[in-house]
């Protein structure tokens, strides 16, 4: 039997004389060939077993140790790694660019349709005619809240000649998306860009009283009409326009004005998304200012929607002028005030519950500010002459 030392796994081969040659993998040493020859196959197997256990139980650790022990990579390998990282960034940019391109799909369709219409009418200078054509994105926010206005945005991203192919200049705002999918800071930053780079923009507003008079859906339609009309009678006077609207058509607009309605349009069109963003940023700021006067309802966090803190405040019999009395929880609160139940122990408990819920949602900085204000002024937070909630401030509509 012949024993051969190699850096490979143990295996058996059959020689030409019929004898079995056993090959055992043993660690090589530069100055220790004799000691290496004495190492037994059992020790090698135990070492291999220990290494296997190490890899299974601490794969990440073993990998890190090997990485630290390995020599530094050469320049070519480092360059390859850098190229792969750049390629990954390019891939991300490519995905974002493709998403933004898709969000201009309907705008480009409308542009192409307008060019064909001009050609059929025998227009001699289509490029010049397209300078007087605008696409208005329209969307609204604030239909469902218990308090606050309904706000609609109308935006023309850009206008003019970009090149001979499109004959139209479309803005391409990185990061633009459905306003509900964006964080407040992202919406605020985009709103600034939209107002800066758009050819025109406008807001239409229906107050909470108008929401009670019309109904929420009709009020949202009226807010959109006001936003669009403000552009048609102002910066877009004399322009041919086409409306891109989220889900609904805008009422009260001339039949000569085309409208394209898209379900979930704020995620499919940059024009609609831009309108949604400026409308939501305005309304959120409005509710934040309203919170300064009426902190009991948590308007700075719920924007008027029926959260637990907001509902608890209503159950206590507290309402403010911005509440929509046509909504059931607000109407019940108003009726409770009228019946004189707002001074009961149950009402006081509801007020306490609302306060605790609001405080649990607040940031520590806000709590610290309230404590400092209480010590300085000697009054409890939210009980100044401006901050006291109104009771039975207006009568509900009788239908």
**Does 246 appear as a known binding residue?**
yes
Strand order in the sheet with 258-262: 200-206, 150-156, 133-141, 240-246, 258-262
Contact at 8 Å (CB) between 319 and 330? yes
DSSP 8-state code for residue 147: B
Reported residue count of the chain is 399
Neighbouring C-beta atoms of residue 21, cutoff 10 Å: 14
**Does 139 appear as a known binding residue?**
yes
Give me the sign of the Cα torsion angle 231, 235, 241, 245: negative
Residue 232 dihedral angles phi and psi, to the nearest 5°: -65, -35
Contact at 8 Å (CB) between 318 and 301? no
Closest CA to 160 of 120, 194, 129: 129
Give residue for tokens 């960034």: 89
Contact at 8 Å (CB) between 223 and 151? yes
Torsion of Cα atoms, 378 then 382 then 383 then 386, to 10°: 120
Torsion of Cα atoms, 212 then 217 then 220 then 222, to 10°: -80
**Does 140 appear as a known binding residue?**
yes
DSSP 8-state code for residue 323: B
Distance between CA atoms of residues 292 and 319, nearest Å: 15
Burial of 306 (0-12, 13-18, 19+ CB in 10 A): middle
Residue numbers belonging to the annotated binding site = 139-140, 246
Residue numbers belonging to the annotated binding site for a divalent metal cation = 139-140, 246
């Amino acid at each position: 039997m012949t024993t051969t030392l190699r850096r490979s796994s143990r295996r058996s081969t059959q020689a030409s004389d019929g004898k079995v040659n056993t090959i055992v993998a043993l660690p090589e040493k530069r100055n220790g060939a004799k000691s290496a020859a004495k190492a037994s196959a059992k020790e090698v197997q135990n070492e291999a077993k220990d290494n296997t256990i190490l890899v299974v139980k601490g794969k990440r650790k073993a990998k890190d140790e090997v990485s630290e022990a390995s020599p530094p990579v050469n320049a070519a390998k480092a360059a390859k790694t850098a190229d792969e990282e750049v390629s990954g960034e390019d891939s991300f940019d490519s995905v974002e660019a493709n998403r933004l391109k898709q969000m201009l799909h309907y705008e480009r369709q409308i542009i192409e349709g307008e060019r064909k219409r001009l050609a059929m009418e025998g227009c001699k200078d289509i490029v010049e005619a397209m300078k007087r054509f605008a696409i208005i994105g329209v969307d609204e926010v604030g239909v469902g809240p218990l308090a606050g206005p309904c706000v609609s945005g109308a935006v023309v991203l850009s206008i003019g000649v970009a090149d001979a192919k499109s004959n139209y200049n479309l803005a391409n705002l990185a990061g633009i998306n459905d306003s509900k999918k964006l964080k407040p800071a992202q919406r605020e930053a985009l709103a600034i860009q939209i107002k800066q780079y758009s050819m025109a923009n406008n807001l239409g507003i229906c107050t909470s009283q108008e929401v009670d008079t019309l109904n929420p859906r009709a009020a949202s339609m009226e807010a959109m009409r006001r936003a669009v009309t403000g552009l048609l009678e102002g910066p877009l006077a004399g322009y041919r326009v086409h409306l891109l609207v989220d889900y609904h058509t805008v009422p009260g607009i001339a039949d000569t004005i085309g409208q394209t309605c898209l379900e979930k349009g704020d995620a499919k069109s940059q024009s609609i998304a831009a309108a949604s963003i400026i409308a939501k940023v305005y309304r959120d700021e409005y509710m934040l200012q309203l919170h300064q006067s009426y902190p009991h309802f948590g308007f700075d966090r719920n924007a008027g929607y029926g959260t637990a803190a907001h509902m608890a405040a209503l159950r206590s019999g507290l309402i403010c002028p911005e509440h929509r009395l046509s909504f059931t929880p607000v109407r019940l609160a108003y009726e409770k005030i009228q019946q004189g139940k707002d001074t009961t122990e149950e009402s006081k408990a509801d007020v306490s519950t609302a306060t605790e819920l609001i405080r649990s949602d607040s940031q520590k900085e806000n709590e610290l500010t309230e404590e400092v204000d209480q010590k300085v002024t000697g009054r409890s937070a939210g009980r100044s002459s401006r901050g006291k909630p109104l009771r039975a401030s207006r009568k509900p509509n009788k239908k």
